[in-house]
Amino acid sequence: MEGHFDCCGPLPMAGRVWKQNKILDLKGGLLLYYLHIPKSAGTSVRQLFQAVFRERLVEVYGDLSGVQYMPDSVLFGHFCFGAHNGLRDAAPSYMTLFRDPVERVISWYRHQLRDVNMRFYRDIRENGLSLGEIIERGLAHEVNNHSVRTICSDAVYEWQRNRSLRVVWTNSPPNELQRNGHAKLTGNKLYQYSSIRHLKLACERIRRFFCFVGVVERVDLLVNFLAEQTDKTPELKVPNENVAPNPDVQVDAQTVDLIKRANRLDYELFEMVQHGRIKCQSGC
């Protein structure tokens, strides 16, 4: 079943200043967070993390309530930046991989088409809902700057006595954001990310709170990074998992153009990471 996570919240207010000069140590002793952005090799990378971190790995998909963790756990899954707030982690270390936005969005649509549990499966199969329509109507946050969303959207967590998390996502932007032009709403009220302010916030958070960022096309750099930081052998491999069996979805030039326009911020971020124009905590 598809995980129900929501990165549609408004641009968050500036938060507290976090400690930035901690020593990176992936061998244990601190919490780590891997943001699994959908259709960005996350399933394959999860297999890699299972081999590296073993019992330290905690998978977080769908509802975050009931998540159990240890002080050196590695949280991996569909959640947004901000999970550390609920864990009272003042010096978080995040990791993620980005994918070319056109490839990611088409792969997402293909996944909706092939899996009966996906929320658009029936509309696509029975009503002919196209990828272009989903983008134009603003029906899914996965087709609108989803990578930037994942890093910009904060979740509001309720601390539980049993060391679990309960999450409440913010869904509707405040009126002042609409008036100031920082966001726009489509007819169905799905919050759209389109402001350069979101991109700047994502870049700032990467610089301050991420120990690794990379692109799917160079997943070998992640393998090398984990090998260096954990004393694992460089021969670690990333398995090719969750590959759609029906890659023949036809996407015309007009739809590709729609994807590019709806994911302008993601393209900027992807290219900055791909070409090394943004540095994270460890200098990656």
Domain ranges (residues) in the chain: 32-274
Q: Which of 210, 197, 181, 273 is nearest to 11 (CA)?
A: 197
- Judged against a pLDDT cut of 70, whether residue 270 lies above it is answered with yes
What tokens were used for 34?
């891997």
For range 159-175, the mean pLDDT: 36
How far apart are the C-alpha atoms of 256 and 37, rounded to whole Å?
Answer: 20
When mean pLDDT is compared across 74-88, 159-173, 237-251, the lowest value belongs to: 159-173
Contact 227, 234 (CB under 8 A): yes
- Judged against a pLDDT cut of 60, whether residue 151 lies above it is answered with yes
How far apart are the C-alpha atoms of 81 and 212, rounded to whole Å?
Answer: 14
Mapped onto helix, strand or coil, the DSSP state of residue 151 is helix
What is the CATH T-level fold of the domain 32-274, as seen in this structure? Answer: Rossmann fold (3.40.50)
pLDDT (0 to 100) of residue 87: 79
Running DSSP on this structure, what letter comes out for residue 138?
T
pLDDT (0 to 100) of residue 190: 59
pLDDT tens digits, one per residue of 33-88: 999 999 999 888 999 999 899 999 999 986 666 788 888 899 999 988 988 887 78
pLDDT (0 to 100) of residue 206: 95
Q: The whole model's pTM is what?
A: 0.78
Running DSSP on this structure, what letter comes out for residue 143?
G
Kindly indicate the confidence band of residue 281, based on its pLDDT and cuts at 50, 70 and 90: low
What tokens were used for 87?
């864990």
> Which range in 23-37, 176-190, 234-248 is most confidently predicted, on average pLDDT?
23-37
Q: Which of 20, 22, 73, 26 is nearest to 224 (CA)?
A: 26
What tokens were used for 102?
């056109």
- Judged against a pLDDT cut of 50, whether residue 172 lies above it is answered with no
pLDDT (0 to 100) of residue 65: 63
